[in-house]
Amino acid sequence: MVLYNVTVNIDEDVEQDWIQWMKNIHIPEVMETGFFEEYRMMKMLSESPDEAGKTYAIQYIAEDLFKVETYLDTVAPKLQKQSIIRYGTKLAAFRTVLEEV
């Protein structure tokens, strides 16, 4: 099992819009690609009071590394661009790929 994790910090003024967009549009588009078996969307609870925005982790579970790499090479750039167009500098994201041990 391989986990593709996207950690996102989103400005609070667009947080609710982003959550709805993720649940109703973005995540369904990612899942429709067929590269992932399941997903989780988690909100970080232990944020520093001086930290701006809210932080979320979206975790996509794939059967193997090949599926994640294929997704990253073929589909991810287009889908990532949509979030940049919609939220611009109000969103910061970083991505990691983890393997179950």
User: In this structure, what CATH number is given to the domain that contains residue 78?
Assistant: 3.30.70.100
Report pLDDT for 52: 83
d(CA 60, CA 46): 22
* Percent of the chain residues topping a pLDDT of 90: 92
Residue 47: pLDDT band with limits 50, 70, 90: low
pLDDT tens across 3-12, in order?
999 999 999 9
Mean pLDDT, to the nearest integer, of 76-96?
A: 96
Range of the domain at 43: 2-99
Residues 6+ away with beta carbon under 8 Å from 46: none
Q: How many domains does the chain have?
A: 1
